[in-house]
Amino acid sequence: MYVLDFVDYFEDTFIGRVIRNNSRRAPRFSVNMWNCFSRLDEELPRTNNSSEGWNRAINNSARENPSIYESIADSRIEQHSNLILAEQLEAGI
């Protein structure tokens, strides 16, 4: 039963379910969005590991239950850090 549920999910999400006259309904995510072939051809990363690392770092440094003002202040600090990093990368530092 679980395998069929997974197949249904995969079909609806990534390839589109077969409908009348053997055509397929549009999938939730187009093939261009999830297919990695073109990314490999252009030597781009296939995963979002860099995003996952950033997310983990933010979660580790974030407060437990911040107020909206604390969240805004933390976001500003993070933005400033990212701007400095971008300038350093552009300068070759």
Check pLDDT > 90 for residue 9.
yes
Alpha-carbon torsion, ordered 49, 51, 56, 60, to 10 deg: 150
Q: Which H helix or E strand runs over 30? A: none
- What amino acid is encoded at 26 in this protein? A
Of all residues in the chain, the percent with pLDDT exceeding 90 is: 31
Check pLDDT > 80 for residue 89.
yes
Rounded-to-integer distance, Cα 69 and Cα 17, Å: 46
Instruction: Spell out the domain ranges in the chain.
Output: 2-41, 49-91
pLDDT digits (tens, 9 = 90+) for 55-85: 888 788 778 888 999 989 988 988 998 899 9
- Helix/strand/coil for 26: coil
Question: What pLDDT sits at residue 7?
Answer: 92
